[in-house]
């Protein structure tokens, strides 16, 4: 007979927190019209024969509210960094000045803001789905344990309530993240 799965609420909460963290990273990559180094986090540079995060080949700073400055450490990498930023579909066009790339952050129009909000909603729905998958996994483990009489029924019900409570909290955090990002995007 196969070993029974172990119920671990802390592991389920950790996995739900992972969905929250992923959403936070994705939302940071959405442009709001203000310069932020996190805007360039998804950029991968073809460096030394492999794909490398931009932050590992250059430093990113915000010299003014609507501009980014990327200082490339190795001057042979400047064109690769420029190409990576242009190819990242962020709508950014760097200007090269030696080993420094200057990036102006264009103003977002109303239509583009609405598109950004739709993308934010998609990201948050993906995070909610991930949290619900974790909840389902927890419920499945509890059902197996109850079926095999490995835990008493009242303990199983209590654990189910704990899993549901953790799910509700994770979904609430996701909704709060989305609301604040939506407000940030729509702010003119």
pLDDT tens string for the chain (188 positions)? 457 778 888 999 999 999 999 898 888 777 666 777 877 877 888 888 888 888 888 998 888 888 889 998 988 888 898 988 888 777 778 888 988 889 888 777 888 788 888 888 999 999 999 999 999 999 999 999 999 888 899 999 999 999 999 999 999 999 999 999 888 888 76
Q: How many domains is the chain built from? A: 2
Whether residue 125 lies inside any domain: the answer is yes
Three-state SS at 186: helix
Q: Are 70 and 39 in contact (CB under 8 A)?
A: no
For 4-97, strand residue ranges (E) read 44-47, 50-53, 58-64, 67-72, 95-97
Residues 83, 176 within the same domain: no
Three-state SS at 42: coil
Show the tokens assigned to 131.
């949290």
Question: Quick one: angle between helices 9-28 and 110-147, nearest 10?
Answer: 170
Q: Are 139 and 147 in contact (CB under 8 A)?
A: no
Query: Which pLDDT belongs to residue 41?
Result: 78
Residues 22, 59 within the same domain: no
Residues 61, 99 within the same domain: yes
Query: Which pLDDT belongs to residue 1?
Result: 46
Three-state SS at 52: strand
Query: Which pLDDT belongs to residue 107?
Result: 76
Range of the domain at 177: 9-27+109-186
Q: Are 38 and 188 in contact (CB under 8 A)?
A: no
Q: Are 84 and 46 in contact (CB under 8 A)?
A: yes
Q: Are 16 and 7 in contact (CB under 8 A)?
A: no
Domain CATH for 144: 1.10.132.20
Query: Which pLDDT belongs to residue 85?
Result: 86
Query: Which pLDDT belongs to residue 35?
Result: 75
DSSP for residue 105: -
Whether residue 4 lies inside any domain: the answer is no
Query: Which pLDDT belongs to residue 106?
Result: 76
Query: Which pLDDT belongs to residue 27?
Result: 83
Residues 114, 182 within the same domain: yes
| CA–CA gap between residue 162 and residue 155 (Å, rounded) | 10
């Amino acid at each position: 007979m196969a070993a029974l799965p172990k119920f671990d609420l802390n592991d389920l909460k950790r996995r739900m927190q992972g969905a929250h963290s992923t959403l936070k990273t994705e939302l940071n990559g959405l442009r709001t019209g203000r310069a932020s180094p996190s805007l360039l986090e998804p950029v991968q540079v073809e460096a030394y024969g492999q794909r490398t995060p931009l932050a590992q080949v250059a430093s990113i700073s915000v010299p003014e509210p609507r501009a980014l400055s990327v200082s490339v450490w190795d001057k042979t990498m400047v064109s690769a960094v420029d190409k990576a930023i242009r190819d990242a579909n962020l709508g950014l066009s760097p200007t090269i000045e030696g080993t420094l790339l200057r990036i102006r952050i264009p103003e977002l129009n109303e239509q583009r803001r609405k598109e950004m909000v739709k993308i934010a909603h998609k990201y948050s729905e993906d995070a909610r789905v991930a949290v619900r998958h974790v909840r389902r996994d927890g419920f499945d483990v509890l059902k197996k344990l109850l079926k095999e009489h490995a835990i008493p029924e009242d303990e199983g019900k209590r654990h189910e309530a704990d899993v549901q409570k953790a799910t509700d909290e994770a979904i609430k955090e996701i909704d709060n993240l989305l609301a604040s990002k939506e407000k940030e995007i729509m702010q003119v």
